Every structure is written in C-alpha cells, then in structure tokens.
A and B are shown apart, each in its own frame.
Chain A
Amino acid sequence: MNYLERRVIHGVLLLAGVSVLCFAFGVMAPGDFFDEMKLNPQISPATVAALRSQYGIDQPLPLRYGRWVESVLRGEWGYSFAYNCPVRSLLMVRAGNTLLLTTLATLLAWLIALPLGVWTANRRGRWDDRLGLAGTTLLLSVPELVIALVLLYLAVRTHALPAGGMVSVGFGGLGKQAQLIDLASHLVIPAATLVLASLPLLVRHIRASVLEVLQAPFVQAARAHGIGGARLLFRYVLPAAANPLSSLLGLSIGGLLSGSLLVEVITGWPGMGPLLLEASLARDVHVVIGAVMASTFFMIAGSMVADVLLVVLDPRVRLGST
C-alpha cells in the first residue's frame, strides 16, 4: 500500500470517527428542533409527538445514526427540519458561496504575503522590515470582527461599495458583465476582511521561514561562491523555505470552509456561516453535522495536500519514505 492510499484510508477513518462524535454530541445536547413548538398553545402535544415520530427523533441514538449513515450513502446527508429538504442541496449552494469567497481571499492573501514575507526577511532590521512588523502586529491585535465593522462603516459612509449580501436586488435582470461587477463589488468587504485578518500570520510565518533559510550554512556557502539575487532566492532560499510553508498552505486549504463563518454572518454573505448559525440556534441537527463534516473533509484534504507537497518538494522526505 503506498503513501497516498494509506493517507486516504486514514482520512476516511477520521471522517467516520468525527461523524460518530459529532452525531452523538449533536443529538445528546439538551433540546431539539420541535421543543419550541411545545411552547406554542396552538400546536397540540399530540401533533408535536407525531412530528417527532415522523422525523425519527424519538428513536434510540444508534438507530438514528444508522439512518443518517444510510442517507449519507444515498447522497442526501440527512434531512433539514427547518428547510424541509435534504441537507446536501442546502450545503452545496452555501458551500459554493463560501468557497467563492474564501478561495479568492486565500489566494489574494498568499499572493500578497509571499512577496511581502520574502522582502521583509531580506531587509531584516531595516526601516521597511520594521514597518512591516509594526503593520502585522497592528493587524494581529485587531479582531476580524472589528476589521469587518470598520470596512462596513466605510462602505455605508462612502456608498462606494454594497454593505452586505452577495448580489443586488434585480441581479437576474442584469447583463453578464454587470452581474460580474455586481458580484465582485459585494465580494470586496468580506474578502478584504479575510485577507487583512489572515495576512499578518502568513507574512510572519513566511518571513520567519525565509530568515531561517537565509542563515542556513548552504545559503552562506552559496553567497561565498558569488551566487546571489534571484538565483539564490529561487534555487536555494524559496525551495528550502517551502517546507514549513506547505504545512501552512495545508492549514489555509483546511480553513476554506470554516475560516470565514463569523465574517459571513457580519457581512451577510450567504455562505456556510449564517446557515450554521441558524441551524445551531434552531437545533437543526443534521445541517450542523453536515456542515461540520464538510469542514472536516476540507481539513483532512488540506493536510493531505500539505503532506503530498512536502514529498514533492523535499527530496529528503522522498528518500526517507522509500
């Protein structure tokens, strides 16, 4: 069995374990979706009991788990009590919206952080490095929530950008190009919030990795041979600094589905965040489990991508694994 097959089996087992725990904790938590109905005098206890029976909530936990697994195998991922539809159709739309936002934000954050981290590492101790460090410290100390609120405030005051949602009213009637512009303008605030929130951590990690490699004896030896500039950066420094960064990239991929929940709620982006919040408050347990499982899948996939990248990038890992 090769390395990749082992990792896939490991991932599937991990997903199964997470599903058991998630299901058990979700179901054993006090209260369920129909508890609020009991407070409504217009709905009789018999009706509530009938509904509980219809959705199988009154059945024992192992049986409910078995039914949920069966629905996962059918591709439905359980049933949403609130939306009265299979969880899969709900998740697919919301996960698509979230991925559109987070993929763009992650890509932008890496595209900005990579040159910035390399630059500040090369300029260690100079004014531009200090400025970069001060900037990242400031951004690190400001919570995501505050960044989002400041950007929303600016959007409301200047009317330059839409302050919430994913598309404007009458989006369907617009032409292709206008639709694209409308979507892009709605993306600016949530994406900028995510970029600004993740940028300091990425820049600092990249700076630290590059700094460590710049001080490595083989880079010093290369310098002593007169190797410098772009050749030193691309043939020596970046490939060596890529090892810790591939793990960081794995984490970024892992957080694609779960890293933007709060920002989505604040900026009104119709992604997984608002769905998960509503489902948690309403105890729509299958939706919560489905969302957690999807996030776990991304976490596992991200960690696998990081491991595969490490094997591809570092001959020492390749030699060690053979």
Chain B
Amino acid sequence: MKTEEAAQRARTPAHIRAVGLSKSYVQRAPFSHKKFAIDALLDVQLEVSPATLTALVGESGSGKSTLARCLAMLEKPDCGEIWFEGKEISRSGSWELAWLRPKIQMIHQDSAGALNPRFTAAQVIAEPLEIQRRESGPKLRSRVCELMEEVGLPANWADRRPLELSGGQRQRLAIARAIALKPAFLILDESLSGLDLSTQAQILNLLLDLQKAHSLTYLLISHDLSLVEQVADFVAVMHQGRMVEHGAGQDIFGSPRHAHTRELLGSVRLVESAFRAAQAGGQQ
C-alpha cells in the first residue's frame, strides 16, 4: 500500500487503540519461592487504523503476543485502556464480550495446535457459527462449504480432520474459521511462520484478498522483517515490553529512529549479507 494511502487512513479514527497498557506476571523463584513480577507490557500505546495492515515486530519475549492476547480479550491488562470502534473494552463483562468476540479474531502460528484435532473441518468452521447462533441446519452446512471455498479449500474436504490436511491447508481452515463470524479486526500471531515460502505467499495473497473483500484490519505479528517491509502499512516495534517506535512502514524501514529498531534491522541485513556471501561461495 502506498504511503499517501496509508497516511490518509492514519488520519481516520483508530479502529483499535491501546492506551497505557501494562501487564505483568507474578512468578516464584525456583528455590526461595519468593514472588517476583515479570513486566510483559509497560505503558504500551498502539493505534491501528481501519482496513490497514499494522505489523508488530520485536525480538522474542518483547511482549508482542501478550499485547495481541490483551487486544483479543484473552487476557485482561493490569492497567490501561483498549478502545475498539469507539468503545473502551478492557473492563468488559461477559455480556459485552459476547458482542465483542466475533469482531476480534486471532489466527495462531501453530495451525495444528489451534484446531481441535477431534473435529472435522466442517465442525471447526461451524462451531463459532453455532455458538453465536448465526446459522443452523442445512444453511449452516452450506455456509461452511461457502467459507471453505472462499479460502481455497474444496468443499468436499468438509469431513476431513485437521491431521489429514497439510500445514498450508490447516492455516486456510483456521482463516475460514476466523472469518466465519465476519470480524472487523484480525490478529495474525506469526500465522505465516513455519510454512514453506510458496505456501507462505499463497496464504499472504489470500489474506490480502480477504482484506480487500471484507475491509479487514490486520495486526500482523512477525519476525520476518523482509515480509513486513513488503506488506505492512504501519510498523510497531516492541522491546522489553515497551513500544519503542510506531509509524508508517516506509518511515520505519527508511529511517529508524530508535536504537533498538536500527539494531533489529541491522541484524536482519547482517544475516542477509552472510546468506548472500554463503550463496556466492557455494556457486564458485
């Protein structure tokens, strides 16, 4: 997406906004059993504009997944606010969550683990539709087949179990389940990792097509900075639980301001040049 377009979208009200979000986990020391807190998130600010793709990058343990889980309302933050479509949702009760759940969906990295191994593909997709009472009976089955075809899975695979599908096919199934409830905001928690390059490209194209078709807002968590550079409208960089930099993708990659962002980009370039050198050595 072009920078002007991204800038245009950035001017529109945020789809989801985290304000001063903090989350810590209390653990006990192995022998002394003394309690100590691990700060997973510290005063995090994040804005995601409607129908954009914001990438969340940072090293392992920087708090990306905790932030994603807080935004998906799978964990409650210790303090701070989460605003979604103009409503503060971080203190939502079970009634409000029932309204909210279908709108915010998450696609995990481990598609094999994220799908109930005991369910067939049809059951996997039908479950959220049934629980949200969107469809039932023959309409439910036809909606399931429709969704399977939309993500590129043949409808006659409806009775296959996740174990009988490849990694890419499982990820398509997870996407079908996620879009079944017509969400507005999708969190892709390293959803493209662990797939081979061609499957990664196919899934990415599918996600971008779905974004266009349904005006979806994406938050992509990834370690693959070259992929992020290509697809992200905005990039947010996390380091030790803090949001250290947040801006348009081209700005972050073109002129990183924070030392950690420069370090992160530098390490990727170092690996790339080492890889090229190794490739050149192999060809000689």
Contacts and interface: CB of A to CB of B under 8 A. Distances in A.
Given A223-B74, A226-B128, A236 B116 contact: yes
Contacts, number: 69
Interface in B19-38: none
Interface residues of A, number: 20
Contacts of A216: 113
Nearest to A226: B101
> Considering the complex of A and B, which 10 residue pairs feature the smallest CB-CB distances, nearest first?
A226-B101, A225-B128, A217-B113, A217-B114, A218-B116, A221-B114, A217-B108, A227-B131, A224-B106, A218-B114
A239 B116 CA distance: 10
Interface string A234-252: 0110011000000000000
- The interface residues of chain A, by DSSP majority, are classed as helix
Contacts of A9: none
Interface in B77-105: 97-98, 101-102, 104-105
B131 A217 contact: no
Interface string A298-322: 0000000000000000111001000
B162 to A, nearest CB: 9
Given A315-B118, A316-B117, A227 B127 contact: yes
26 contacts: A216-B113, A217-B113, A218-B115, A220-B106, A220-B108, A221-B177, A223-B74, A225-B101, A225-B128, A225-B131, A225-B177, A226-B97, A226-B132, A227-B131, A235-B127, A239-B118, A240-B116, A240-B118, A314-B117, A315-B117, A315-B118, A315-B163, A316-B117, A316-B161, A319-B161, A319-B164
Contact of B131 (A231, A314, A316): A231
B116 A227 contact: no
Contacts of B114: 217-218, 220-221
Q: Which of A223, A224, A226, A316 has the most CB of B within 10 A?
A: A224
Interface of A: 216-218, 220-227, 231, 235-236, 239-240, 314-316, 319
Given A314-B118, A315-B163, A319-B163, A221 B108 contact: yes
B72 interface: yes
Contacts of A217: 108, 110, 113-114
Nearest to A216: B113
B113 A218 contact: yes
A225 B163 contact: no
B40 interface: no
